[in-house]
Structures are given as C-alpha cells and as structure tokens.
Structure 1
Amino acid sequence: MIKVLKPGLYSSIQDFGRFGCQQYGVPYSGVMDRYSAGLANIILGNAPDLAVIEMTVMGGVFQFDSDTVICVTGADMSPKLNGETIPQNLPVKIVTGDVLSFGKLRKGVRCYVAVLGGLLSEKILESRSMYQGVTKQSVLLKNDIIEITTSSSFLIIKNALVKLKDEVFENDYLEVFKGPEFDLLTKNQQTFLMSNSFSISKNNSRMAYQLEECLENVLEPIITSPVLPGTVQLTPSGQLIILMRDCQTTGGYPRVLQLKESSINVLAQKFTGDKIQFNLLEY
C-alpha cells in the first residue's frame, strides 16, 4: 500500500474517467493529460487507462509499504526516492519503506505516478476517478492509504523504451474542430478567433480554463445542450471558456469550437499566463 505523508496540491486518483453516466449529470472526470498518464502505465506494462496519482503544480510525499515498480511522467516536479533524484519516463524499483517526494516545478503543470498493476482505490460507476459528489473525497489527504498490488517482479524492462512526444509541453497550438455554433459567428469573428493568441487566465482548473482576451459576442444564448471536455464556450461577455475533464454535461453558451483529444492533453500542461492559439481542422 501507499501512505500519503503530504498530499501536494490538488492531488487525486484518476483513471480515464466515467462513461455512459452523462445523462445523469455525472462528468467524465479522469486524468487531465491522458498522454502522460497513459505513458506511465504503458512503460510499466499496465493498460494505459489504469488509475494513477495526478498532482498539480506541487507534488506530494508518499511512503510505500510494499515492493512494487513505479513510473513518473508529465510535469517535471524534481522527483526523488529517499532523497535521491530519480528519472522520469522510466520504471523505478520500489522496496518496502521507500519514500517518494517531489521538489521544484521545472516544466508543465500536472505530474503522474503510475504503479505496477495500477492503484486499487474504490471503483464507483466503473471508474476510480475522484470527483466531489461521486466519490467520498475529491483530493488526497494526509494519512490516506492507497491500496496497490504487491509485486516482487521487476521484469518490465521490455516496456522501458518508449518514444516521448515533447509537443505535449512545447506546443502552443491547439487543434480544434468547428463547434455547433461556429458558423453563427461573423467572418470577422471567425478570423479573430483563429488568427490571435489567447492567454490562460488565473481561473483554470480541472473543470475549465478561462482565456483572458475576449471575442465580441452578439450571439444569443442557446437552449441547454450537451457539452464535452474540450468544448470552447463563448459567454455573453465575450470571454472564451475551454471545458476540461470535470466539466458539466450540459451548457447554455454557444459552443464555437471543440478541441481535439490530443489538444486537451496539451492544454492540461499549460499554466497561468501561457499563450495558446487555435488551429482549425477540417472534419
């Protein structure tokens, strides 16, 4: 098992989310950056969608009470094992009593810790993802215990060599498709939307990322309609809101764009003040 000595900031257990429950108002949830979380699992030989620990901006401190193997991916939070620096994106052997900690944030926003065999926290509605109102708690707390599969096998080197995609951290372009209300925008609005850079505001979370720059909006609110992670909404004030993994299931603001799945991963590693630009794709 893993004992949480310090939880870090907004740390939680997440897998790839809940599906088939949106008609009941239950969000998808799940890891913000599926690429990085899936990579950690794949390196360990796990299925990519197994539950991992997700940390935001500041990592925690975790003590292992059994032997296992871990992999740390995503944001570089200076991971250490028993005070010694360890590599990311490679399997790391853990023995009983080892302590995993994190330090200075060097790159990205969200970091992932996968464990051989996955985390065995409670599964609700076919997912282990934490979400307030669905699970008992929405974040990890000090002294929490996370059950894992005990393993003395370290024979996973065959999965250690995986090509990394640096664009998750380095790409400032978000690939998008037209949203249902995109064609209601004027040509000038469409041009402004696709030719300008936008800044991530301080209002960013697992639910949504708000952008600083506004787009003049004369559109009427729409009848409440389905929304998804990656939906870009245009508010009456002209502010753009990009919905993320914990977003609501319906909304009444015009849906002008829809992010490609890989672009949600890119955005999940952006921080306040970072610039992004939309790149429109054809269906």
Structure 2
Amino acid sequence: MIKVLAPGLFTTVQDTGRFGYRNKGVPVSGAMDSFSAVLANRLLNNDDGAALLEITMTGPELEFTAPTHIVITGARIRPAINQTLIPNNRVIRIHPSDVLSFGKPERGIRAYMAIKGGFGTPVVLKSRSLYFPVTAYDHLKKGQELGHEAFEGTVDELIEIKVNNDFLFGSSIPVYPGPEYDMLNAEEKEMLGRGFSVSTLNNRMAYQLEEQLPPNDYGIITSGTLPGTVQLTPSGRLIVLMKDCQTTGGYPRILQLSEQGICALAQKKYGDRIVFTMC
C-alpha cells in the first residue's frame, strides 16, 4: 500500500489507455508521454500496460508501507527517497516507511513512476486510467491509499541504462498532413512551419498555441478526432488534442501528430517553443 501524504499538482493513474468506447464518446486517455511510461514498466519487467503514476510539474509525497521496486522516467523533477536524490531510469529498491518526494522540474513537466507489478486501482471500461466522470475522480487526493502487491525479490533487469530521450525535450514536433490539410492555401501552409508557443491553456485534453493563422471560413461536418489531431478554429487558433480529448469535432483537422510528437508536446509547458516537422 502507498499512502498519499501530498498529491502534487496533478498526479494521476494511467496505463496505455481505454480503447473500444470512442463510439460512446469516451476518450482514450492513457499516459500523455507513452514513451516514458512504457520505458518505466519495461525496466521493471512489467507489462507495457501496467498502471503507473503520471506526475505533472509538482510531484506528490508518497509513503510506502510494503517492500517493492520503482522506476522514475520522463521529466527530471528531482525525485528523492527519504530526502536523498535518486536518478531517473534506474530500478530503486523500496523499504517499508520509505517516503518518495519531488523537487522543482529541471527538464520537462511529466514524470512517470512505475511500481513492480503495477498499481491495483479499479478497472473501469477495461482500463485503470483516471478520467472523470468515467472514473470517480481524476487525480490523486491527500490521504488516499494506492494498492499494489508487495515485492521482496530482485528485478532481473538492467540496474541502469542510458536512455536517448532528447527528442522529448527538443522543439521538433513530428506531424503528418491531416484530412483537411489541403484546405489551407500556400501562405497558411508556410506559416505552419514558422514555430509556435504553448499558451497557458494546456492540459491533458488539449494544448492551445499562442500564434494564430489568419481568420478563415473553413468548415467541415463534425468528424472523428484522435489524440494528436491539430484543429484550426475560424479565428485562426490552433488546438492540439491530447489524450483526454473529445472523440469528434467540427473544426478542420489540418495536422496529425505522430505518437513521438504527442510525447514531446506532453513535456512542454507555457511559453515553450515548438516547430511542426512534417514526416
């Protein structure tokens, strides 16, 4: 069992996502940075889809009551066990009464904490990913307890690896042309390559960008959307849908982020610059 002493800014349980229910309007959800989430589970010999914690900006404070092993991946947010800093991408042995805490973000904004065997939180529509109102709550609360299986053995895994995850923290966001890309004129297509800044309006549902294209009268019949779909509003605003996004929309879908692009954007905060790079 893990006791949540402090929940952090927005700490949530995620897995690879909730599939098969988009026709009922249920978002996919799942880890925003799937690269880092899968890496954390693989370092522990967990299934890729084992439930883990997604930690955003300000990390939680967690007290362990049973022995286990953990791994932290993704953003560097100065994780520490009993106030002693621990590295990312390394299997860490945990003893009862150990306390995990975090400091200020140094690189990126989303870290992932996997635990041996994964978290045993409730399964709702074939997934443990938190998304209110599909689940009873959407992020951890102070005083909450998280279940997991105690593990006193050893992890038959590399103790430490050197991970090339620089793509997560660079400005390049790989994209493909969206279904309505050719609605754009030559000038608008050229503007897409100039770079954009992340606005204050960014979360698990969508990222809005500061710079805009010219106002337009483009329109489409409401159509399907996916995580990574870039929508163009009549005002010229660009909205990049993320893992908790709606399943349909009426704005032109001018670009589609690759999975790598979604992971990289998930590590960006307000003011960070991005450049769409056509695949």
Determine the C-alpha separation between the residues in 2 that align with 1:219 and 1:12: 39
- Residue identity opposite 1:169 in structure 2: L
- Per the alignment, do residues 168 and 2 of structure 1 end up closer, same or farther by CA in structure 2, a change over 3 Å counting? farther
- Stretches of structure 1 that go unaligned for 5 or more consecutive residues are none
Determine the C-alpha separation between the residues in 1 that align with 2:161 and 2:34: 15
Task: State the match for 2:4 in structure 1.
Answer: 4
Note the alpha carbon deviations across 1:151-172, whole angstroms, 9 max, x for none.
101233x233444123233321
Note the alpha carbon deviations across 1:146-200, whole angstroms, 9 max, x for none.
11011101233x2334441232333211111110100011111111112x01000
Determine the C-alpha separation between the residues in 1 that align with 2:187 and 2:106: 39
1:178-193 residue pairs with structure 2 within 5 A? 178-193=177-192
The answer on whether the counterparts of 2:225 and 2:246 sit within 8 Å (CA) in structure 1 is yes
Determine the C-alpha separation between the residues in 2 that align with 1:97 and 1:20: 40
Matched residues, number:
279
- Specify the SS of the correspondent of 1:209: strand
- Stretches of structure 2 that go unaligned for 5 or more consecutive residues are none
Task: State the match for 2:81 in structure 1.
Answer: 81
Task: State the match for 2:61 in structure 1.
Answer: 61
Determine the C-alpha separation between the residues in 1 that align with 2:160 and 2:186: 47
Determine the C-alpha separation between the residues in 2 that align with 1:233 and 1:165: 31
- Specify the SS of the correspondent of 2:211: strand
Determine the C-alpha separation between the residues in 2 that align with 1:216 and 1:182: 15
The answer on whether the counterparts of 1:42 and 1:159 sit within 8 Å (CA) in structure 2 is no
Query: Please, what is the CA RMSD of the aligned residues?
Result: 1.1
1:209-220 residue pairs with structure 2 within 5 A? 209-220=207-218
Task: State the match for 1:25 in structure 2.
Answer: 25
Q: TM-score, normalised by structure 1?
A: 0.96
- Residue identity opposite 1:52 in structure 2: L
1:168-207 residue pairs with structure 2 within 5 A? 168-194=167-193, 196-207=194-205
Task: State the match for 1:126 in structure 2.
Answer: 126
Percent of aligned pairs with the same amino acid: 46
Determine the C-alpha separation between the residues in 2 that align with 1:219 and 1:190: 16
| Consecutive aligned runs of 4 or more in structure 1 exceeding 3 Å deviation | 159-163
- Residue identity opposite 1:227 in structure 2: T
Task: State the match for 1:227 in structure 2.
Answer: 225
The answer on whether the counterparts of 1:75 and 1:107 sit within 8 Å (CA) in structure 2 is yes
Determine the C-alpha separation between the residues in 2 that align with 1:92 and 1:167: 23
Task: State the match for 2:150 in structure 1.
Answer: 150
